[in-house]
Amino acid sequence: MKKIALFLVASTLAGCTYGPEDDARRGLAAVKVPVVERTNYAYDVPVSAAGVTPAGEAALDAWMSSLGVGYGDRVYLDGMGASYARDDVARIAGRYGLLLAQGAPVTQGSIEPGTARIVVSRARATVPGCPDWDDTSNPNPGNGTMANYGCAVNANRAAMVANPEDLVFGRAGTGVIDPRTTIRALDSYRAQRPTGETGLQDITTKKEDK
């Protein structure tokens, strides 16, 4: 009888063990988090010692407009003609509120002589696998979070962030501190008169005759 009892206890304990796949969902941290991916778009324009031709500038402006270039994007110059095209490309990028970045990412294909390559590098944040309603809330013997836990918050964060790279590197402080900005909300709160100073409002639930 003792051997049978020990066997039953051992069987019960074995049935309550969980594999490594359950460890990620044993805490309160979301398993599905934003993933930042970067895509590079390249465009070659003809250049000379005088810079980019007027036709090339118009084509480059139209290309950037079609991409919807804006905050968070990076604009690079590459190729032997980059030095000739820098001023013209910087002026066009400035129309979209961007400055030329240093260096250039590696792109496919060779850059022909007499041309400069403009590269627009764009980061995009997504949360792969969300939403995920495959799990059932019961039974949950491991007390793990559901597969969809955190999907709404992280998906909204990925969709709303202006610069997806901030999710990876954060943002360094400027070192400039303005105390007036810090206490602006507190000053507004203090300046408001208490609502009870004017007495209670006379509110009725009866319909007024017009």
- Both tokens of 150, joined, read 């955190």
Domain that holds residue 54: 40-123
165 belongs to a structural domain? no
Is position 53 within any domain?
yes
Q: Phi and psi at residue 110, in whole multiples of 5°?
A: -85, 155
Structural domain includes residue 108: yes
Assigned domain for 72 exists: yes
Say whether 46 sits in a helix, a strand or coil.
strand
Structure tokens, 30? 């979301």
The answer to whether position 69 is within a domain reads yes
Rg of the Cα atoms in the chain? 30
What are the mean pLDDT values of the chain's consecutive 10-residue runs (210 residues total)?
42 46 68 91 92 92 94 92 92 94 89 92 93 79 81 92 88 76 86 80 74
Q: Is residue 49 part of a domain?
A: yes
Distance CA 72, CA 168 (A): 13
d(CA 19, CA 136): 19
When divided into structural domains, the chain yields a total of 1
pTM listed for this prediction: 0.63
